[in-house]
Amino acid sequence: MKMIQAIIRPSKLEVLKEALFKAGINGMTISQVQGCGNQHGWKEYFRGSEVILNVLPKIKFEIAVNDSQVDSIVELITETVRTGEVGDGKIFVSAVEDCVRIRTGERGEKAL
Amino acid sequence: MKMIQAIIRPSKLEVLKEALFKAGINGMTISQVQGCGNQHGWKEYFRGSEVILNVLPKIKFEIAVNDSQVDSIVELITETVRTGEVGDGKIFVSAVEDCVRIRTGERGEKAL
Amino acid sequence: MKMIQAIIRPSKLEVLKEALFKAGINGMTISQVQGCGNQHGWKEYFRGSEVILNVLPKIKFEIAVNDSQVDSIVELITETVRTGEVGDGKIFVSAVEDCVRIRTGERGEKAL
Amino acid sequence: MIDSGSTTFMLVCTMLVFLMTPALALFYGGLSRRKNTVNTMFMSIAIIGVVGVLWMVAGQSLAYGGDGSPFIGGFDQLFLNGTLEEVLNPVDGTFPPIVNIAYQMMFAVITTAIITGALAGRMKFGAVLTFAGIWLLLVYAPLAHMVWGGEGSLIGSMIGALDFAGGDVVHISSGVTGLVLCVLLGKRRGFGMLSYRPHNVPSIVLGAGLLWFGWFGFNSGSEFAADAVAGLALLNTAIAPAAAMISWMAVEKLMTGKATLVGACTGLVTGLVVITPAAGFVAPWAALVMGIIVAPICYYGISWLKKKIGYDDALDAFGCHGIGGIVGGILTGLFCVPELSWNDMGGLLYTGDPSLLIAQVEGILITVVFVVVMAFIIGFVVKKIFGGLRVEESVENEGLDVSLHGESAYPAFNGLD
Amino acid sequence: MIDSGSTTFMLVCTMLVFLMTPALALFYGGLSRRKNTVNTMFMSIAIIGVVGVLWMVAGQSLAYGGDGSPFIGGFDQLFLNGTLEEVLNPVDGTFPPIVNIAYQMMFAVITTAIITGALAGRMKFGAVLTFAGIWLLLVYAPLAHMVWGGEGSLIGSMIGALDFAGGDVVHISSGVTGLVLCVLLGKRRGFGMLSYRPHNVPSIVLGAGLLWFGWFGFNSGSEFAADAVAGLALLNTAIAPAAAMISWMAVEKLMTGKATLVGACTGLVTGLVVITPAAGFVAPWAALVMGIIVAPICYYGISWLKKKIGYDDALDAFGCHGIGGIVGGILTGLFCVPELSWNDMGGLLYTGDPSLLIAQVEGILITVVFVVVMAFIIGFVVKKIFGGLRVEESVENEGLDVSLHGESAYPAFNGLD
Amino acid sequence: MIDSGSTTFMLVCTMLVFLMTPALALFYGGLSRRKNTVNTMFMSIAIIGVVGVLWMVAGQSLAYGGDGSPFIGGFDQLFLNGTLEEVLNPVDGTFPPIVNIAYQMMFAVITTAIITGALAGRMKFGAVLTFAGIWLLLVYAPLAHMVWGGEGSLIGSMIGALDFAGGDVVHISSGVTGLVLCVLLGKRRGFGMLSYRPHNVPSIVLGAGLLWFGWFGFNSGSEFAADAVAGLALLNTAIAPAAAMISWMAVEKLMTGKATLVGACTGLVTGLVVITPAAGFVAPWAALVMGIIVAPICYYGISWLKKKIGYDDALDAFGCHGIGGIVGGILTGLFCVPELSWNDMGGLLYTGDPSLLIAQVEGILITVVFVVVMAFIIGFVVKKIFGGLRVEESVENEGLDVSLHGESAYPAFNGLD
Ligand SMILES: Nc1ncnc2c1ncn2[C@@H]1O[C@H](COP(=O)(O)OP(=O)(O)O)[C@@H](O)[C@H]1O
Ligand SMILES: Nc1ncnc2c1ncn2[C@@H]1O[C@H](COP(=O)(O)OP(=O)(O)O)[C@@H](O)[C@H]1O
Ligand SMILES: Nc1ncnc2c1ncn2[C@@H]1O[C@H](COP(=O)(O)OP(=O)(O)O)[C@@H](O)[C@H]1O
């Protein structure tokens, strides 16, 4: 099993969720985070004074999937949320050793 | 070392925390996340119109433990937060390669 | 690639961010979490009654880096945020198998 | 001599009506999505500025100046010309006329601000303010004249329709304008699919509470004297919303199984709207009945009609104010106590004579037609000026706060939306 | 003729007392846990609806109708029968009686709403509203009659106890009722173990600020005329809370090392409560003393007594209003300036004669006994009707907002609780 | 006999001015960083307590007691000595003098609270309150006497400077004191580097809305009678802030490309400040002009001068109140309608005679010099007492809320800051 962690733009939250549902993924965990990256922040003004914001709101999706699904899901995410502008985000993939469905106690891939 | 990640119902936060303290675990990191799973969301009404909520508030516990503790902790969590209803949550276990206690600089298992 | 996860004091957020920028790291993801550890919480008073808070606000940094950078970054973090008091926090290091830059589709280390 | 008691009353009522617009900003702000909170509140707040200034420049003159046209005032009081003289050489009367200028200004501000509830989340900010300014001068001011222009005015005098505190002038005009703009704007992207819900319920409660508080000044101040009728208007403005709140909660309980706090607040607002044209004309028991009646009608309008017809009245400016105002105007024709009427017509229920009811319906129809036509025209003109009324898709997705204003409502809080 | 100045005063004071209930919703809402915010606020807001309607239907009649029973009014003013006639045929007096109906309605609303502070986080919503409705008619209305029913009323006339703006009628009655319901309900699950803290301090500050603002109308309006005594009541309503706030902060600093903002707000509320029965009877210096005294007593009641006895008065309705009201009533017997008294008894300190003090204590005792007995009976009846007063354990765990109302207060914000 | 109409007016205006301080707490609280919200609000709230009590103890006497010194009142009214007698033996007049005591108390409270905007995020809490108490007695009370002490007072009578509702007494005094404390305190750590932004925009909007609402009582109440001039003051207090808001938005649009809601709120506050000394003296068109002028000047002061000179006026107490008050005082010398003047001097524009303008400038200069000197001295003394005005570095980093008060403003919400 792998954990796919995608950091995306907040405005892409709804579309990505829908796209994942359509692809048959209905387990995921979402949270709001702040990110820095190549997108170096923006300027706002507070009473005429410049304020540099170098952390921007981002959304993190965590999706645990079978090894076989990783590539297709990564591709799906990439295509769904890409705008081509700096700040589109990153996907990280890492290994998960075990998974438990609390309700039933099932373990491993069938618990996903 | 392993990282145990448990996604549970918000109403189980306090009990799980107490249970872990009792089991001698006093290092953990908690955050609020939004989850989708088999529990397909609920309906709310806003001025008479149905609103489908397909992400629900959940609590994420992250607990780094020694390899030997994994099974007992997973079991403890499962038992403490299970209600048997859809939406009880998931536990993910993955490997941690190193751990540092910032205060002392200690590394590895003794830093837990 | 490794993912460095550092749980630190909220008051160290700005300094650590600056320090990482200076060290040439400009990709990171930050979130607020609640932590329990050796620092056993503090007391507040609500209308004269003691309230024990055993989870405290902490900041989590997630920084994906090349294997070669791990030690220097861990050291940098440790030095920047250490106060020597209980509650300084923890760093966890784990493996990342793949990384994708969504904007370009690049994968692996060059996507960091 | 003036009456210092009534002068104080009108001074205080002016302040109370002022407060309704910041209250509306909180009400609408809480109802909006988090990413559009600043924009939603800003529309109301900026309208205090725009309308405040324009009312002084020309609005007051167009509404209450001139010499008795049925349709509109005149140009003799531009820049409040003559007002200072009146202050320096006080004449007799219940209270000094300058107080009424301020009072009328606050009415103009809140009326214009109500419209913005229909626009949340998608309209260009410059276009909103430009529309608001033109609308004030070309719709609100003439309509105020037609209804409250005294001797010779079209709706108030020739037709003889009654409007105690602004059913036609305030609620129908703003609600219907909101509807027209909804149609011109189109729906928010994702309307019906996405889960739009209010983002801050306490802000809604606070807004509704302050609105109600200010509305006491709005309705009882419309008696323009501190007397028993002002007391009646106040009492009715307590009873109708209380009844409408309970009525709305009962409907919700019946339809969805659960009474909600947002519903209760919506219900009380419909009760405030329905009693506005009637506040000083009806008995307390009629206020109770009006409150009970209005809530299910607005509920139906908001939950069913809106979906059916398919306009996106984001925060229900039309659903609450348009519909509620129409219901209130009609019921005034039924329940008006003849002795309290401003003319020789009384409510059908008391007199058995439908003249007032007919006048009320005529007044409403003229208002609706006038407002629809004018709002469409002004909407088109503003659309031309700004090359479209609507923001870019990306702006709408990202949220208007950050895109249009470079501000977030709560930058230090995490969350989704 | 009526006096338009005092009419205006009473109209405005009515609006101000109205505002206290939304203010209380914000105050209690901020003090509650996040997951119970909607429910906590909803109790106060819905009570505006329920009590508003019932006051018009029967409350006013039961409190102030009839012909002079010591205990209760009559049935002659049901549905405000006769009010319209009074509006149409004004009689002489300081202000039109209809204004007083509205003013008394607002008193009934806020009093009933105060009770809910004791119930936060565990009571069935229907049971709350049912209890509130019955309580209004069977406890509040009779008690208002006993104290303020004029000639022949039990507490106000026969015993001669003084209650300027509602120590007995408002604060002791609601606070004690809250205590009774606490006992009937039992503690919140996890009480004492979990870390209950307010979830939104600015909301508490806002609520306290608006409460204080409204309280000026509550206390000075109880003079029923715009005169020097109204001014005195206003000034005392500024001084006592200011002193109580400082006093509370000093106690906190002493006991825990840190003055808190929630503490300061709690302190000022106890100051408002203590001065309520005394506002127009005592000199400013006495207001200062009363404020200084009340804070430590309530602090002790809340922090020590509550734990000791073990009831779960969630937001301290009894701790602030019950205890503060009793202290205020007793101190009125000490500090009442004889010339300002409503009867021929003055404060012990001025007259050396303990009659007033004794009357005050008697008034309080009767109030407490009456309220305790009635609240238990009504509580039992409501419990029977609803099959228990309390929500299921799972509802309490998940939070009442989502479970009972299908709403979250801040759905777009992350956090724990 | 007193005039019950004007008595009501002053009673209500007193309540309105009271409300300004909780409003300011919300305004400043929203502008602060999240981790300092409790402390920022607490400074304003606690000042209601401290100043409320001290005003009663000595402030009123020092400001308005005594027998006609140019500089300060006397000691004859300590503890409001004599007030109760006035209540018991009413004399003729527009309204009972006790009402004015309460009104003046509210002025003293809000003035002192304004100062705290300059201190956000770094000053010891005890030092703030101690400074506030001493400042009230040694700066505010004498200054109020010099300007409003009547016959023989230095600024108001001898120099003949006009200050309708408190340009010198309220805004310049508090703004300049804020500036002095900024200099004594030094900058917040990380000032200029960190991204300070407001953490809660709706709270700012609410605060600004309630401030404006209260300010109507502040400015029109300063006529001390319910008459046409009170109406003029009210209208001007609507027009100037409306104009200043639009003006500020225009400047922002020009300079940064985007109008912000925080900017609009700041702009309207500068409009309120500028019209304060002039409210009952100038024509509505002049209010419009004053509003348009003040916003860019304050904008410049806040965005450029502050950076240039390098003081850290955290929430711009000096930038808004100090600068705006000076501009307002000077423009009064230009625009004052001679017939409305309190003395025989009128505005330069009407009379061609610069005497009033010169008197205004003199009044401002004396105020500034007096305040600067006194504020430095008191600041030094308080620094000595507390061993430094400033909190430890670690306290500042962690946030003053948790460190000084053991409270977080929103403990159940996640976020950064
Ligand atoms: N090395 C990293 N470690 C952790 N998170 C990262 C890293 N690099 C980027 N991110 C996250 O991804 C987000 C988008 O990255 P960014 O570099 O702006 O995107 P892009 O490469 O498309 O321009 C950042 O805001 C941050 O949250
Ligand atoms: N594949 C997944 N990847 C990440 N998180 C998941 C996944 N599946 C479930 N979750 C998380 O677990 C929570 C509970 O899952 P759910 O399927 O509703 O529980 P159950 O299986 O007990 O019915 C979800 O809300 C989500 O946050
Ligand atoms: N075993 C663990 N698993 C997950 N997070 C942990 C663990 N131990 C500590 N933490 C996190 O690190 C933070 C600091 O830990 P703490 O023990 O207080 O620091 P220190 O060891 O420096 O005294 C905690 O608040 C918690 O968020």
Give DSSP secondary structure letters for B7-66.
EE-GGGHHHHHHHHHHTT---EEEEEEEEESSS--EEEEETTEEEEE--EEEEEEEEEE-
- Is A47 close to ligand 2, i.e. is its CB under 6 Å away? no
- The four Cα atoms D390, D396, D400, D402 give a dihedral, to 10 degrees, of -140
Domains of chain B, by residue range, sit at: 2-111
pLDDT in tens, F161-185: 999 999 999 999 999 999 999 999 9
What are D370-385's pLDDT values in tens digits?
999 999 999 999 999 9
In eight-state DSSP terms, residue F123 is B
Angle between helix axes D97-115 and D141-148 (nearest 10 degrees) is 120
Mean pLDDT of F217-234: 98
- Chain E contact for B10, CB < 8 A? yes
On the question of pLDDT at F208 being above 90, the answer is yes
Percentage of chain F lying above the pLDDT 90 cut:
93
Query: pLDDT (tens digit, 9 = 90+) per residue, F1-13?
Result: 899 999 999 999 9
Q: What is the mean pLDDT of the segment spanning C49-78?
A: 92
> What pLDDT score was predicted for residue F301?
95
Q: Is the pLDDT at D195 greater than 90, yes or no?
A: no
Least confident of C81-90, F81-90, F101-110, F184-193: F184-193
Label residue B49 by pLDDT band (50, 70, 90). confident
How far is residue D69's CA from residue D67's CA, in Å, rounded to a whole number? 6
Q: Which residues form the pocket of ligand 3, taking CB atoms under 6 Å from any ligand atom?
A: B 27-29, 62-64, 101-103, 112; C 7, 35-39, 56, 58, 86-90
Q: What is the pLDDT of residue F123?
A: 98
Minimum CA–CA partner of D196 in chain B = B51
Measured distance CA(D249)–CA(D262) in Å, rounded: 10
Which one-letter DSSP state was computed for residue A108? S
Domains of chain F by start residue, with CATH: 4-405 (1.10.3430.10)
Task: Kindly give the distance from the C-alpha atom of residue B95 to the centroid of ligand 1, in angstroms, as a whole number.
Answer: 23
E202/F41 touch (CB, cutoff 8 Å), yes or no? yes
Which of A5, A20, A28, A92 for mutating ligand 2's site (highest number of atoms within 8 Å of CB)? A28
Residue by residue, pLDDT tens for chain E (417 residues) are 899 999 999 999 999 999 999 999 999 999 999 999 999 999 999 999 999 999 999 999 999 999 889 999 999 999 999 999 999 998 899 999 999 999 999 999 999 999 999 999 999 999 999 999 999 999 999 999 999 999 999 999 999 999 999 999 999 999 999 999 999 999 888 776 666 789 999 999 999 999 999 999 999 999 999 999 999 999 999 999 999 999 999 999 999 999 999 999 999 999 999 999 999 999 999 999 999 999 999 999 999 998 898 899 999 999 999 999 999 999 999 999 999 999 999 999 999 999 999 999 999 999 999 999 999 999 999 999 999 999 999 999 999 999 999 999 999 998 876
| pLDDT confidence tier of residue C100, bands split at 50, 70 and 90 | very high
Residue E91: the pLDDT is: 85
Mean pLDDT of D179-203: 87
Confidence (pLDDT) at F190 = 74
Of the listed ligands, the closest to the CA of A59 is 1
Q: Provide, for chain D, the percentages of residues in helix, strand and coil under a 3-state DSSP scheme, each rounded to the nearest 5.
A: 75, 0, 25
**Rounded Cα–Cα distance for residues D375 and E358 (Å):** 70
Looking at residue A91, its pLDDT comes to: 97
- pLDDT at A7 (0 to 100): 97
Label residue D137 exposed, middle or buried (CB < 10 Å: 0-12, 13-18, 19+).
buried
Confidence class of residue F408 from pLDDT cuts 50, 70 and 90? very high
Interface test with C, best of E32, E194, E197, E261 (most C CBs within 10 A): E197
pTM score > 0.90 for this model?
yes
Q: Does CATH place domain B2-111 in 3.90.1150.10? A: no
pLDDT tens for F241-267 read 999 999 999 999 999 999 999 999 999
CA distance E218 to E275: 11
- The pLDDT value recorded for residue C51 is 83
Closest-CA residue to C91 (of B107, B1, A93): B107
Quote the minimal CA–CA distance from C30 to chain F in Å. Answer: 9
| 3-class SS of residue A91 | strand
Q: How many residue contacts between A and C have a Cβ separation below 8 Å? A: 84
Q: How confident is the model at residue D193 (pLDDT cuts 50, 70, 90)?
A: low
Q: Do the beta carbons of residue B14 and residue B81 sit within 8 Å?
A: no
Report whether F199 contacts F33 (CB < 8 A): yes
Mean pLDDT of chain B: 91
Tell me, yes or no, if B59 comes closer than 8 A to chain E by beta carbon: yes
Q: What is the pLDDT of residues D59-93, one digit of tens each?
A: 999 999 998 899 999 999 999 999 999 999 988 89
Complex ipTM above 0.95?
yes
pLDDT band with cut points at 50, 70 and 90 for residue C41: low
Model confidence at D362: pLDDT above 70 = yes
Question: Per-residue pLDDT for F195 more than 70?
Answer: no
Which of C8, C14, C30 to mutate to probe the F interface, most F CBs <10 Å? C14
Predicted local distance difference test score (pLDDT) of residue D62: 98
Q: Which amino acid is at D87?
A: V
Q: Which residue type does F197 have?
A: R
Using alpha carbons only, what angle is made at residue D121 by residues D117 and D127, rounded to the nearest 5 degrees?
Answer: 80
- The residue-averaged pLDDT of D280-287 equals 98
Cβ of A103 less than 6 Å from ligand 2: yes
Percentage of chain B lying above the pLDDT 70 cut: 97
For residue E373, CA distances in Å to D35, D264, E185, F59, F224 come to 52, 32, 16, 48, 50
Q: What's the mean pLDDT when you consider all of chain F? A: 96
> Residue B90: which pLDDT band, with cuts at 50, 70 and 90?
very high
Q: Do B48 and D316 touch (CB under 8 A)?
A: no
Average pLDDT over residues A30-39: 87
Average pLDDT over residues A2-26: 92
- Tell whether C55 lies on the interface with E, counting CB pairs under 8 A: yes
Is the pLDDT at D238 greater than 70? The verdict is yes
Per-residue confidence (pLDDT) for residue F322, from 0 to 100: 98
- What's chain D's average pLDDT? 96
Q: Do D190 and A44 touch (CB under 8 A)?
A: no
Nearest residue to D51 via CA among D117, D129, D116? D129
pLDDT tens digits, F23-71: 999 999 999 999 999 999 999 999 999 999 999 999 999 999 998 899 9
